Amino acid sequence: MILEKINSNKDVKALREDEIDLLAEEIRQLLLETVSQNGGHLAANLCVVELTIALHRVFDTPNDNIIFDVGHQSYVHKILTDRRERFDTLRKLGGISGFPSIKESEHDAFGAGHSSTSISAAAGIAAANMLSGSESYTVAVVGDGAFTGGMIYEALNNCAEAERLIIVLNDNDMSISANVGGMSKYFSKVRSSVKYFRFKNGTKRFFEHIPLLGKSLIKGARAVKNSFKRVAMSQNFFEQFGLNYYGPVNGNDEKHIERLLKEAKDDKRSCVVHICTKKGMGYKPAEERPDLFHGVSGFDINSGKIKESGKISFSEQFGNIICRRAENDGRICAITAAMPDGTGLSEFAKKYPERFFDVGIAEQHALTFACGLAKKGMVPVFAVYSTFMQRAFDQMIHDAALQGLHIIVMLDRAGLVANDGPTHHGIFDAAFISQIPNVLFYSPNSFESLEECFDKALRADCPVVIRYPKGNEILCDGFEKGEEIDIFDCGSNPESAIITYSRLTENCKNAAEICQKAGVAARVISIKRLSPLPTEEIIAALQGVKNILFAEEGIKNGGIAQRLCAELFDKGELCGRSYKIRAIDAIFPPSATNAELYSLLALSDADIAKAIIEGDGNEA
């Protein structure tokens, strides 16, 4: 086992040439074994095995800085640095993160989880190195999918003067789903430039075989090479930014990559190294369906069958609803930021391709694009993960709410997202959306209420946001349905109430049943409209209640519980009542299962029931 010898990147450098392919094979096997059990990002990591080996043979982390864009492809980097023996803890509570983390290892140069940030961070680190006189190299590893995000171009505009900055463009023609847009077409053109490929590689091999003068002739031929490159591919995009350009080369050939990285390293200027890889490389099911194996909950290695719950998710239910409504309403359009599968829009894209828009990994653009559609009478529906919606906060205020444009934002993965960790938990949306004026904000607690909320959104004349969790339908039978709140009584004449919303409704119902067994009657109030809050309905539901617990699967500061407390206080409804808030306070929740996270945050059934039974809240 070659891998057993690898305890640091120094060991990678010491490998013989004939051991490198064996190492790559063993790494792929370890990736398959671990991700099949723990879940995680598979296809992207399989395709960067040779690249990561080459990076650690050419550069010296942590002295040199390697930054992975998004970071979901950093598993191989973790294995080759200082985390091989703990790799089986990937994405588990207290284990290795599924993304780079500066708290986890000095070899992780910059934390990530969202797309298109790496070049900006790398440019900043390179600038700091220049100011301090350091000769360290900074390498940003960027997938071609990230080039659909505008932040990349803001960063490229400020890279030309940097020293020892190398941008590795990992071109696999994919982000999560197939890439779209002008840059995707440009990269396809570069990939298909056979004339350039053959000329460059053939010329270099010829010069390398000339004794003594070979290296000098290679440098002298660079101008000729660049001239031919412009003829073969017109003007090179990156060179217009003042960056030297190397490639493209086969990104799954370690020797070629290593040779090109050394050439870029010797340049000492800002440059781009373009490699072409195959997403899912080395595992046939992932090669054939890289979109399915981008992020998986687990799978059978032999058959390639992905573990599924067998139940319909909120995302899929939303997809069913929008397809039915679009059949009778030609104004409905659907927008995704490179995630049609993850957000449930794949079927809509097939049925109504002319009304479906995949704008790439560009949430800010997607939001304002939706506003443009709305301005001309369309009803745009932008489906996006909660954690990625954070990037479009300004557009939601400035372009949507301020102008009162009728857009619908479907916030998927709202609340805790098991195992993906702090970069992907959707715990901030309730706080930042609810503070924006002129926005209707819903949080359905069932598939039935999801459809009701969507229909209300279609009838609205202002921006509407609907949030829902990852996973299957919430089990909340027995509730008395209201227009904006649902009520569940466990015991007669309850003097305690639990106010909550969304998926936590199920935990609160279970908690109320625990309370009843302990002789405490409790009422659960599940809010379906978060802004404006249905305060009068909630006040009516609090008649006879002396103790109130606000339970929230979101941040406490500025959250729904605090806003509701303030409104109740202003109306004198907290006088003589004890109250407390259970929410996420002063912590970024880690990677863990939902059950582990609920226990950690004191939001489990038992924790909520205990808080009600003890009844030790504040009193206004």
Q: Tell me: do 460 and 507 sit in the same domain.
A: no
pLDDT at 307: 85
Spell out, as residue ranges, where the chain has pLDDT lower than 70.
174-235, 616-620
CA nearest 278: which of 269, 268, 287?
A: 287
Q: Which domain holds residue 381?
A: 314-467
Residue of 50, 254, 258, 363 marked catalytic:
363
For the chain, give the number of residues: 620
SS3 497: strand
Residue 329 lies in a domain: yes
Question: Is 363 an active-site residue?
Answer: yes
Is residue 63 in a domain?
Answer: yes
* Cα–Cα distance, 395 to 53 (Å, whole number): 41
Same domain, 56 and 167: yes
Distance from C-alpha of 423 to C-alpha of 114, rounded to nearest angstrom: 7
- Which CATH number does the domain housing residue 563 bear? 3.40.50.920
Same-domain pairing of 344 and 426? yes
Which of 411, 440, 467 is the C-terminal boundary of a domain? 467
Catalytic, 279? Answer yes
**What is the dihedral sign for C-alpha 617, 558, 555, 97?**
negative
Q: Is 601 part of a structural domain of the chain?
A: yes
State the greatest distance between any 2 C-alpha atoms of the chain, in Å, as a whole number: 95
3-state secondary structure of 7: coil
Task: Give domain status of residue 307, yes or no.
Answer: no
**Which amino acid is residue 567, in one-letter code?**
E
Return the closest-CA partner of residue 500 out of 548, 569, 540.
548
Tell me, rounded to whole angstroms, the distance of Cα 413 from its chain centroid.
Answer: 10
Task: Tell me which of 278, 279, 556, 582 is the catalytic residue.
Answer: 279
Residue type, 303: S
The CATH code of the domain that includes 155 is: 3.40.50.970
CB–CB of 617/578 below 8 Å? yes
Q: Which residues is 246 bridged to in the sheet? A: 273
Name every residue whose Cβ is closer than 8 Å to that of residue 6 and which is 6 or more positions away in sequence: 12, 23, 79, 80, 84
Look-up of token digits 């102008």: 403
* pTM score over 0.75: yes
Strand partners, 281: none
At residue 620, the pLDDT reads 43
Backbone φ, ψ for residue 249 (5° rounding) = -130, 165
- The three-point CA angle 70-76-82 to 5° equals 105
* Residue 549 sits in the same domain as residue 432: no
38 shares a domain with 112: yes
| Residues 358 and 260 occupy one common structural domain | no
Tell whether 244 is covered by a domain: yes
Asked if 602 and 562 sit in the same domain, the reply is: yes
Contact, 223 vs 147, CB < 8 A?
no
Catalytic-role residue among 57, 391, 577, 580: 391
Contact in structure between 265 and 58 (CB atoms under 8 Å):
yes
Query: Is residue 369 within a helix (H) or strand (E), and if so which, with residue range?
Result: helix 363-375
Residue holding tokens 């200082």? 82
Please check whether residue 81 lies inside any domain of the structure: yes
Give pLDDT, residue 7. 87
Residue among 465, 48, 478, 502 nearest 290 (CA):
48
CB distance 173 to 186 below 8 Å: no
Return the closest-CA partner of residue 55 out of 240, 262, 350.
262
User: Any catalytic annotation for residue 553?
Assistant: no
- Report pLDDT for 172: 85
Single out the residue in 467, 492, 518 at which a domain terminates.
467
Domain count, the chain: 3
Count CB neighbours of 46 within 10 A.
Answer: 28
Residue 191 and residue 165 share a domain: yes
- Element spanning 466, H or E: strand 464-467
Amino acid at 90: L
